[in-house]
Amino acid sequence: MIKHHRVTTLKTLHSHVSCLAVNNNNLLYAASAYKVIVFDLSNHTHIDTFNDDPSSGSVKSIAFNDTKIFTAHQDSKIRVWQIAQPTRHHLVYTLPTFKERLYRSLVQKNYVHVRRHKKRLWIEHCDAVSGLVVNEDLMYSASWDKSFKIWNISENRCLESVKAHEDAVNAVVVSGNGTVYTASADGRIRVWERDDNLRKHILVRTLEKHRSSVNALALKDDGRVLFSGSSDRSIFVWEKKNNIADSVVFVEALCGHTSAILCLINVEDLLASGSSDRTVRIWQRGKDSGYRCVVVMEGHEKPVKSLAAVVLPAGGASSGVVSVCSGSLDGEIKIWEISKSSDLCNLR
C-alpha cells in the first residue's frame, strides 16, 4: 500500500516554476523566470538565489556534476556555476565559451545556416535550450532549434551537434551505456547511439505512437525501461529487449491524466507524472501486470511543470520513503512524502 502526505509548500519569487532539480547534497534548485532559487530539503529553508541577468530568459533545465551547476536558458545559452563557500553561487562561464567561439569563427565551414540569410557557429544553439543531462564527463543539451549537442565538461567545448527532429526537441535522457533518447514537438521519440568508427551519433530507431507533442522522458535506472509523456494526455512505456538500443518496443499506455503530460521522473520503483490538469500521479508496476496509478496528489492551482525526487535516508520513520517535489505555474513548490509498504514489488 502506498501512503502519501504533503509536507510543506515553498513559495518562489515569480508567478511560475519552470524546472526543479535536486543535487547530491539534498539541495533543491527551483527555476522561477530567469532566477534560480536554492532550498535545503532537510529543513526547507532558503539558501541562495542566483542569476541577476533578466536577458538570459527563463531557465528551462538544471543539471549537476560533482563541482558545477549547469542551467539551460531561453536565450539559447548554457550557464555554468560554482558554489563559493558557504552557499553562494557564482557564474564561471557560458557555453559555448568566448574562447571556443572565437577559435571556431576563424574557419568558414564552422558556420551553418539557421534560417534564411542567417548563419551561426555549429557549436551554438539558435533557440531555447530545453533540456540538459550530465553523464560522467559529457553533457547533452536539447534545444527548440531541433538539435541536441554533446559537450566535454572538463574541456568546456562542444564535441558534436546532431540535427535530431523536424520540430523542437523538448526533452533528452541518456542511459548509463550512452544511448540517447530525444523527444520532440513533432510527436516522435528518437534513439541514438555513438558510432565509434564514424565518431558521431547515429539514429538507430524512431518511436512513433504518440498523437501529439512529446514533452517529457524518464528512464528506469537500469536503462531498460523508457517512459514518455505527451500532450495527447498519455504516458507510454517502452522497453529495450536484449539490451540493444534498436530493440526498443512499446509495452503499454498509462491513462488517467485529463490534460497534457508536462513532466516525468522515475525514482526507485515509482514513476511520478505532472500534468496540465494540475495533478501529480504516482505509478507502480504490479507483480504480474502493467503499471497502475497508486496515488493522485492534488493541490496546485495551475499546471505542474516540473518534478524532482529523492529517496530519504533509510532508518527510523524515513525508511522506504520518497520525497517528491512538484513545481507549478502557480509559483509554488509542494513537497510530498510517499511511503511504500514492503510487500510492493519492484519494477522490472
For 251-282, the pLDDT digits (tens) are 999 999 999 999 999 998 999 999 999 999 99
Residue 260 · residue 215 · CB < 8 Å: yes
Q: State the average pLDDT over residues 317-329.
A: 84
**CA distances (Å), 327 to each of 17, 152, 167, 278, 336, in order?**
5, 30, 26, 10, 11
Residue 261 · residue 216 · CB < 8 Å: yes
In the predicted model, is pLDDT for residue 191 greater than 90? Answer: yes
In the predicted model, is pLDDT for residue 342 greater than 90? Answer: no
In the predicted model, is pLDDT for residue 340 greater than 90? Answer: no
Predicted confidence at residue 168, as pLDDT, reads 98
In the predicted model, is pLDDT for residue 56 greater than 90? Answer: yes
Separation between Cα atoms, residue 195 and residue 200, nearest integer Å: 6
Nearest 5°: the CA angle 45, 263, 206 is 145
Give bridge partners of residue 216 from the DSSP assignment.
229
Grid coordinates of 337: 512524502
Separation between Cα atoms, residue 330 and residue 333, nearest integer Å: 9
Please give the full DSSP string across 49-84, using - where no structure is assigned: EE---GGG--EEEEEE-SS-EEEEETTS-EEEEEEE
Predicted confidence at residue 341, as pLDDT, reads 63
Nearest 5°: the CA angle 163, 184, 134 is 75
**Residues 6 or more apart from 13 whose CB is under 8 A from it?**
32, 33, 35, 37, 49
For 197-247, the pLDDT digits (tens) are 889 999 999 999 999 999 999 999 889 999 999 999 999 999 998 877 788
Give bridge partners of residue 79 from the DSSP assignment.
71, 94
For 156-186, the pLDDT digits (tens) are 999 999 999 999 999 999 999 999 999 999 9
Predicted confidence at residue 100, as pLDDT, reads 95
Predicted confidence at residue 84, as pLDDT, reads 82
Separation between Cα atoms, residue 242 and residue 246, nearest integer Å: 10
Q: Where are the domains of the chain?
A: 164-312
- What percentage of the chain has pLDDT greater than the value 70? 96
Amino acid making up residue 246: D
Give bridge partners of residue 166 from the DSSP assignment.
none
Predicted confidence at residue 13, as pLDDT, reads 74
User: Exposed, middle or buried by CB within 10 Å (0-12, 13-18, 19+), for 36?
Assistant: buried
For 291-308, the pLDDT digits (tens) are 999 999 999 999 999 999
Other Cβ atoms within 10 Å of 163 Cβ, number: 10
Three-state DSSP class for residue 160: strand
Separation between Cα atoms, residue 133 and residue 227, nearest integer Å: 16
For 107-119, the pLDDT digits (tens) are 999 999 887 678 8
CATH number of 164-312: 2.130.10.10
- Mean pLDDT, all residues of the chain: 92
Predicted confidence at residue 319, as pLDDT, reads 58
Separation between Cα atoms, residue 315 and residue 36, nearest integer Å: 32
Give bridge partners of residue 211 from the DSSP assignment.
none
